[in-house]
Amino acid sequence: MTGNITFDYKFKHGCPHSLVEDMSLTKEIAVTPTQAKIIRHPIEKKKTLNIISGPGAGKTTTLVNKVAYMIGEEIVKPEKVLVLSMTNRAVDGFLSRLQDQLDEETAALTDIETFHGLAHRELMKYDPSYGFSELIEDPGWRVLGIMSGVKRKFELQRIVELLKTRGLTADERDEIASKHRLSRETIDELFKILETSQAVTYNEFLRDYKRLLRDGKIKTDYDVVIVDEFQDVYPELWELVELLARNSHLIVAGDPYQSIYGFLGDNGIVQSQLEHFHEMDRVEMYDCFRSPPEVIKSSEYIMETDRGVKSYLKGEKPILMKMRDSTEQFEYVIDEIMRLVTESNDAVKLGDIAVLTRTNRELEELIKMLNKYGLDTLKLSSSPSWCDGNLFYLVDYMRILNNPQRSHFAVICTLLLLPEIGPVTVRNIEARARRNKMSLYDYLVEHRDKLKPQLQAYIDVMEDTRLSLDPNSTSDIMDKLLIIADELGLRKFISRSILFDDDKNHVTTQVLDFNESLKMFAHLKPDNQTVLEYFLQSYMDRLPISTVKDAVKVSTIHSSKGLEFPVVFMIGSKPALLPREHLSPEDRRVYYVGMTRAKHLLYNTVVENKDWPIDMGRIKKEAGHLFQFNSPVLSESLLSKFRPSTQVRSFHTRPKTSQPLIVSSLIKGLRLWQRTR
């Protein structure tokens, strides 16, 4: 059953007051009883509303509607609402939906941010120098790995976090060295580099922001704090929520079965602390408007639970196929994608299909195979393609061009790209600069004539570029960055990883995406900053993402969270999906997330290996009622789900009983008012 919530939205922002002084629009939102209960739940300070949601229950849309309702009914002012989520993609999606409900300027008054974005923004307000902090990104971790000899990025990140939080005394550094089987000299050198360069991690922004909040040096005054995807909040983030919401009404929403970031911290600890934070009401959302019952039942079979999630959709049993090896698996996926598109007479399009993997390594292998067979792919990420590869060194060059004296870590990173310049040379130069109490760049300039030819060329190129660069011209910035990359080793470094045409095409895409990002920031920048300055200050908070094209979407399961696709292939990994007794709790939750991305068709492939033998006879006996074991027949009833509907539909997808979601923006209201006066 569904019903409607109606409220009057009074225009008070973004319009000439004389035009709209007494004007309002009536808004009507189609909702289920549970969603209505959440939207109308009273706002009381120092109380918590905990929303437990199943997959596809309209959780985020309900939160958007609640914000619109609170503002429309004048329960809270828009600037008194803070919404926090984990990714830029989630933040942008929330803001876009809220703009559909309210006018753009009112929606913009609400504070919708990632945790790290909020911390970075508020720190910049407190001290503008935070805007130019050297954040350690992928190239930086590579360089720190070279300098320290630690090959595993995750282990290196743990060491750096320990040094940042505990490694201030000799005994503490001894403890870190012993724990990670490194020499004390290596730890000391790493500590000196971090201290001198002032390179920071994302968690440092959080720690500094929390410290300033505790000390009262930064103050907040929110009436309502909303945390979406609460199952992903780890203890360090929860400490920030506690500080922000200590005197506010707190709303948290999430699905414990989709908690798949345990490596960041234990959400179980957070859930326990939530119970004792404020007086709390709990509401459960178990109507599913995305996946059919067959997908829900099979995913809950993997979890060995039944939460009573209800779906009123009609669908197909998930397909489960056993493969001898990864090659056969890739070939099956490719053949099936081709069959779906061709035999459906284009009812199923490439853009309807997503292939999900457990690991990034599997993802890269998948992309190469799909491209080899002529299938275009779109890698899903919460940031542009250039952020997760070697092209990120361009940002280091930009830092040096903008302010070389404050780009210590960027200089270290880019020096190591030069031919025949290794970590010993860079360590020695960095140590001499430190002894002379000079920035690394100034030391190189002052001692240019005594340096190796490669280092002399480095200084010459950088100085010439700094003198000739137009920091407000995106074309000049891009042209000169590519020249620097060519002359100072980056192009050669990247070319080592180019083995096939697909690799070359990927780099080309990254360059185009980078140029697109530059142009976007050129449009967004304030008048008192150059494009170069604004990009460096803002790229970590708001990165434009490339336009989606009609291609097979590929992603790790982790990156697919919050998304949905008409067709999902979840390719086999270790351990296999079945038999389920081999799965850890974390494995089960990851597979649960992947399976519940599917709207119409879900394919699961399992690859046999010596560690996990797969007995299909046993699987069919135990789970045959939940899966089908052959490729599905493309019936007319199935294909009709892929064809565009001519009916007006609400934000959820129950076809017979739902009412349309009526959305009227400020601009639409003004035009209507002008036509009728």
pTM of full prediction above 0.85: no
What CATH number has the domain bearing residue 95?
Answer: 3.40.50.300
Looking at the fold, whether 106 and 144 belong to one and the same domain comes out as no
Looking at the fold, whether 87 and 57 belong to one and the same domain comes out as yes
How many of the other CB atoms lie within 10 Å of CB of 672? 12
**In sequence order, what are the residues at sequence separation of 6 or more whose Cβ sits closer than 8 angstroms to the Cβ of residue 280?**
47, 48, 49, 50, 274
Q: 57: which DSSP letter?
A: S
Looking at the fold, whether 56 and 43 belong to one and the same domain comes out as yes
Q: Could you tell me which residues are beta bridge partners of residue 224?
A: 81, 249
State the Cα–Cα distance between residues 648 and 28, nearest whole angstrom.
14
Looking at the fold, whether 344 and 412 belong to one and the same domain comes out as no
pLDDT of residue 2: 62
State the Cα–Cα distance between residues 37 and 292, nearest whole angstrom.
24
Q: How far is CA 144 from CA 292, 455, 533, 580, 653, in A?
A: 48, 20, 26, 40, 49
- Looking at the structure of the chain, the number of domains it has is 4
Tokens for 433, please give them. Answer: 């600069």
pLDDT of residue 543: 53
Please report whether residue 21 resides in a domain: no
Looking at the fold, whether 528 and 441 belong to one and the same domain comes out as yes
pLDDT of residue 550: 84
Q: Where do the DSSP E strands lie in 495-639?
A: 552-556, 565-570, 598-607
Q: Which residues are annotated as a binding site for ATP?
A: 53-60
How many of the other CB atoms lie within 10 Å of CB of 215? 8
Please report whether residue 127 resides in a domain: no
pLDDT of residue 22: 45
Looking at the fold, whether 270 and 313 belong to one and the same domain comes out as no
Q: What is the pLDDT of residues 333-358, one digit of tens each?
A: 999 999 999 999 989 999 999 999 99
Please report whether residue 659 resides in a domain: no
Q: Which residues are annotated as a binding site?
A: 53-60
Q: Which residues of the chain have pLDDT under 70?
A: 1-3, 6-25, 132, 167-168, 382-384, 388, 540-549, 576, 612, 645-677
Please report whether residue 251 resides in a domain: yes
Please report whether residue 516 resides in a domain: yes
Looking at the fold, whether 224 and 105 belong to one and the same domain comes out as yes
Looking at the fold, whether 257 and 315 belong to one and the same domain comes out as no
Please report whether residue 19 resides in a domain: no
**In sequence order, what are the residues at sequence separation of 6 or more whose Cβ sits closer than 8 angstroms to the Cβ of residue 608?**
322, 323, 324, 576, 614
How many of the other CB atoms lie within 10 Å of CB of 612? 16
What CATH number has the domain bearing residue 515?
Answer: 1.10.486.10
State the Cα–Cα distance between residues 505 and 493, nearest whole angstrom.
16
Looking at the fold, whether 430 and 530 belong to one and the same domain comes out as yes
Domain boundary among 538, 555, 585: 538
The residue length of the chain stands at: 677
Looking at the fold, whether 556 and 629 belong to one and the same domain comes out as yes
Q: What is the pLDDT of residues 612-665, one digit of tens each?
A: 678 889 899 999 999 999 999 999 999 999 987 543 333 332 333 333 333 333
Looking at the fold, whether 447 and 349 belong to one and the same domain comes out as no
Please report whether residue 676 resides in a domain: no
Please report whether residue 669 resides in a domain: no
pLDDT of residue 13: 42
Question: The domain containing residue 621 runs over which residues?
Answer: 293-382+547-640
Q: How far apart are the first and last CA of the chain?
A: 39
pLDDT of residue 20: 42
pLDDT of residue 671: 36
Fill in the amino acid letter for 185.
E
